[in-house]
């Protein structure tokens, strides 16, 4: 467990083992340009959201919270680098779809503002909401694409986001070490997740409609993953797997 000094080192080693992956090479499938324009815009918003993240690394380094150490801070730095790689992959996707990258967007700003306002624990709650959103959304987009390189890239992103979800759940579980903290987490988590889901549903409604993704299907996926994350964090006594 996280009281053991080797605990966060295992996460560090997992992220290190993936840190040398190269960016994919664009393929020449001609059908990309026929996909809905709204998909390029939607992925450009996610591309913006996957960029940045430097302040949380500093915060993790300087943090005096219990149950974390320098290996956690290094893992956080490697995690941010992995998210920045996602931004680079999504930039290639946007380019292949004939879209343009963006510098500003209200949902990306909402996530960034929430991360700036608050301490490390609440920042990680916001990151966890972004992982839940990303896992489900990338998966649903990949499921709508024919067998292409882009489908494989998005599938790889889903696998990364699933391990990010576990990483953040392990941290939050280590911090929710009292009953009242677990209650507080549940209130903050459900409110954050609800706000994130509504915002993404609104901002990406054109792509969701054009790709034939049912709003109910995506909502149910988000709620299923958010309940899974909640259980990983607050369930006591259970043999919760909290290793990479
Ligand atoms: Fe990501
Ligand atoms: Fe992630």
Decide if 92 contacts 26 (C-beta within 8 A).
yes
Q: How far is the CA of 160 from the centre of ligand 2 (A)?
A: 6
Q: How far is the CA of 180 from the centre of ligand 1 (A)?
A: 31
Residue 116 has a pLDDT of 66
Q: Starting from the CA of residue 124, give the closest ligand.
A: 2
Q: Starting from the CA of residue 83, give the closest ligand.
A: 1
Q: Per residue of the chain (244 residues), give pLDDT as tens.
A: 666 668 899 999 999 999 999 999 998 899 998 999 999 999 999 999 999 878 899 999 999 999 999 999 999 999 999 999 999 999 999 999 999 999 988 888 887 776 666 789 999 999 999 999 999 999 999 999 999 999 999 999 999 999 999 999 999 999 999 999 999 999 999 999 999 999 999 999 999 999 999 999 999 999 999 999 999 999 876 545 555 5
Which CATH code, of 3.50.50.60, 1.20.1260.10, 1.10.287.610, 1.10.3720.10, is assigned to 7-18+30-234?
1.20.1260.10
Q: Starting from the CA of residue 84, give the closest ligand.
A: 1
Q: How far is the CA of 149 from the centre of ligand 1 (A)?
A: 18
Q: How far is the CA of 91 from the centre of ligand 2 (A)?
A: 16
Burial category of 216 from C-beta neighbours within 10 Å (exposed 0-12, middle 13-18, buried 19 and up): exposed
Q: How far is the CA of 80 from the centre of ligand 1 (A)?
A: 9
Single pTM value for the model: 0.93
Residue 99 has a pLDDT of 94
Q: How far is the CA of 233 from the centre of ligand 2 (A)?
A: 17
Q: Starting from the CA of residue 51, give the closest ligand.
A: 1
Residue 1 has a pLDDT of 61
Residue 4 has a pLDDT of 64
């Amino acid at each position: 467990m996280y009281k053991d000094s080797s605990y966060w080192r295992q996460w560090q080693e997992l992220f290190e083992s993936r840190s040398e992956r190269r960016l994919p090479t664009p393929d020449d499938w001609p059908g990309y340009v026929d996909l809905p324009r709204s998909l390029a815009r939607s992925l450009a918003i996610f591309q913006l959201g996957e960029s940045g993240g430097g302040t949380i690394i500093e915060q993790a380094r300087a943090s005096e919270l219990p149950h974390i150490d320098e290996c956690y801070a290094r893992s956080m730095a490697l995690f941010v680098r992995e998210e920045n790689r996602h931004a680079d992959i999504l930039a290639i996707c946007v380019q292949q779809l004939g879209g343009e990258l963006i510098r500003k967007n209200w949902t990306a700003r909402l996530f960034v503002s929430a991360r700036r306002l608050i301490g490390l624990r609440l920042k990680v709650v916001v990151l966890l909401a972004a992982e839940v959103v990303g896992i489900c959304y990338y998966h649903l987009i990949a499921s709508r694409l024919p067998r292409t390189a882009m489908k494989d890239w998005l599938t790889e992103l889903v696998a990364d986001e699933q391990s990010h979800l576990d990483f953040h759940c392990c941290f939050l579980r280590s911090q929710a070490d009292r009953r009242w903290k677990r209650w507080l987490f549940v209130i903050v988590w459900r409110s954050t997740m609800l706000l994130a889901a509504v915002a993404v549903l609104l901002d990406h409604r054109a792509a969701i409609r054009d790709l034939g993704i049912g709003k109910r299907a995506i909502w149910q996926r988000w709620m299923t993953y958010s309940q899974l994350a909640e259980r990983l964090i607050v369930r006591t006594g259970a043999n919760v797997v909290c290793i990479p």
